[in-house]
Amino acid sequence: MNITVMWLALAIILFIIEAATVGMVCMWFGIGAVVSMLCSFFITNVYIQWAIFIVAAVVMLVLLRPLAKEAISKNSEKTNVSALIGRTAFLTDDINEESHGRVKLGDISWIAVSSQGETIKKGEKVKIVLVKGNKLVVEKV
């Protein structure tokens, strides 16, 4: 088998694995295989091709993966309870050291606890900072 075809086959396999797992790891090794395939036209030494493959893949994995993950996650929309974080609401029951309060968001009444352990009175505006189980962790606005 021609070494160029081997690099192409390896790249295709790695891209298929990436499509199946979506971990953003195999993609960089697939690109490294493409780089090695292109180098195989000019460099006949297989050991040098493998070195180019490893260096190219690791450099892209370390440098480009964080940028790619950030770009992808920047455009993602929060769903479910994670969409509650950052929203503001009004307390329907007091929060104090001994008991939790309640916050109503839409049609749902949630258990609310203070992020600082402080007392917050009914009717005060709060911001949701965290969702812990079935409780909303809030702070005064």
Distance CA 120, CA 101 (A): 8
Q: Bigger pLDDT: 5 or 72?
A: 5
Q: What is the DSSP string of 115-140?
A: SSS--B-TT-EEEEEEEETTEEEEEE
Q: For residue 116, what pLDDT is reported?
A: 86
Instruction: Tell me what the mean pLDDT of segment 3-13 comes to.
Output: 96
Give the mean pLDDT of the chain.
90
Amino acid letter, residue 123: G
Q: pLDDT above 90 covers what percent of the chain? A: 62
| Per-residue confidence (pLDDT) for residue 78, from 0 to 100 | 66
CA dist 56 and 61 (Å) reads: 8
pLDDT, tens only, 83-92: 888 899 999 9
Res 41: pLDDT = 94
